Amino acid sequence: MGYRRPDLAGAWYPGGEREVRKTIERYIKEVNKPIDSYKGVGGIVPHAGWYFSGRTAFSVFYSIAEKRSPRLIWLFGMHLPPKGPDYIFIDDGYKTPLDTLPVHKEAVRMMNETFSFSQEDARSYTQDNTIEVQLPFVKYLFPEASIVTVGVSPSEHAVKVGERAAAITQELGESGCFIGSTDLTHYGPNYAFTPHGTGKESVQWVREKNDKEVVDLFLKADWGGALRSALSKQNACCPGAAVAAIAAVKKMGAEKGVLVQYTTSYDVHPDYSFVGYAGVVY
C-alpha cells in the first residue's frame, strides 16, 4: 500500500511547493467569482495543463471554498470508451507538491461493495491527467479533506455511480463535494476533427455552437442531454465524469449550475488545433 506519485508535476503543473503556491496565489487574484447563487456541492472542471486551463479549474474549486469546506471530495475523470470498465483508486492516497492527499478508505470500500470496478493502486495504475492536475487545488483549499477518485465511462451507468457517491457521503455523515473533470471540443487537424475548416471561423463555431451546447446542458444539470450531446457532437472528452458529478449534485439538492469561466487553448496559444474549457459550479 502507498501513495501514488505525481507523474505530471513539473510538466502539466509546477513541480515544487513554492511554485505551486505562487501560481495558486496568482489565480486567487485573477479568479472569476460567480454572480448567481449556487450551493457549492460540486462542479465541472477542465484538465489540461495549468498553462491552458488551470485558472478555469481553480475558479471552480475556489468558488466552492467560498461557500463550504467539504471533508470528502469525489473526483470523477479518466478518458474512457462508452463500454469500458470504471476505475477506482484503492490505495492510501496521492502525493502532491503540497503534501499528500489521503483516500477515504471507507467510502472506497462502500463503492466497491456496490459496483465492479477495475481497482488501481500506487504501483499499478493508468497514467491520467484528468484527476492529477486537480489535486494541488484540493490540497491547497481543503487541506483536511480526503478524496475518492473514480474513472467513469460515458454511459447512463455513470448516473448510478454519481448517485451512489452522494448516498455514501450522506450515510457517512460527511460534508461532500463532487467534481467531474472534462475538457470540451478538441478541434483541428491534431484531433482529426475539422467540420468547419480551420481558422477563426472554426474557433467561433466551437465557442458559440459546439461547446455552448454541452455547457448549456451542464448548467441545466441535464446529464442525459449532456451525454447525448458529447457522444454525437464530440464536445466533451470525459462525459462520463461530468454525468456522474451532475447526478451526484442533483441528489444533494442542486438544480442548476453557474458558469464560472469559459476559455479555449486558442486564447493563450492560437493554433489550428485547440481545445475548449468550462468551469461550472453547482
For residue 206, tell me if it sits in a domain. no
Between 223-233 and 211-219, two packed helices, what is the crossing angle to 10 degrees?
Answer: 170
Distance between CA atoms of 86 and 156, rounded to whole angstroms? 12
Report whether pLDDT(35) > 90.
no
Give the number of domains in the chain.
Answer: 1
pLDDT in tens, 169-202: 999 999 999 999 999 999 999 999 999 999 899 9
Which residue from 241, 255, 260, 256 is spatially nearest to 74, judged by alpha carbons? 241
pLDDT-derived band of residue 32, with 50, 70 and 90 as boundaries?
A: confident
Report whether pLDDT(270) > 90.
yes
pLDDT-derived band of residue 273, with 50, 70 and 90 as boundaries?
A: very high
- Predicted confidence at residue 33, as pLDDT, reads 83
The CB-based long-range contact list for 155-159 (8 Å cut-off, 24+ gap) reads: 155/82, 155/83, 155/227, 155/240, 156/224, 156/227, 156/243, 157/86, 158/76, 158/223, 158/227, 158/239, 158/240, 158/241, 158/243, 158/244, 158/247, 159/223, 159/243, 159/244, 159/247
- Predicted confidence at residue 82, as pLDDT, reads 94
- Predicted confidence at residue 10, as pLDDT, reads 98
- Kindly report the CATH number assigned to the domain that includes residue 66: 3.40.830.10
Report whether pLDDT(1) > 80.
no
pLDDT in tens, 41-91: 999 999 999 999 999 999 999 999 999 999 999 999 999 999 889 999 999
Distance between CA atoms of 182 and 215, rounded to whole angstroms? 11
pLDDT in tens, 133-160: 999 999 999 999 999 999 999 999 999 9
- Predicted confidence at residue 253, as pLDDT, reads 97
For residue 233, tell me if it sits in a domain. no
For residue 230, tell me if it sits in a domain. no
For residue 191, tell me if it sits in a domain. no
In the numeric block, the cell 438544480 is attached to 255
pLDDT > 90 in the chain, percent: 97
For residue 203, tell me if it sits in a domain. no
For residue 249, tell me if it sits in a domain. yes
For residue 122, tell me if it sits in a domain. yes
Domain of 271, in residue numbers: 3-183+238-281
What rounded mean pLDDT belongs to the chain?
A: 97
- Predicted confidence at residue 108, as pLDDT, reads 98
For residue 198, tell me if it sits in a domain. no
Entry pTM:
0.97
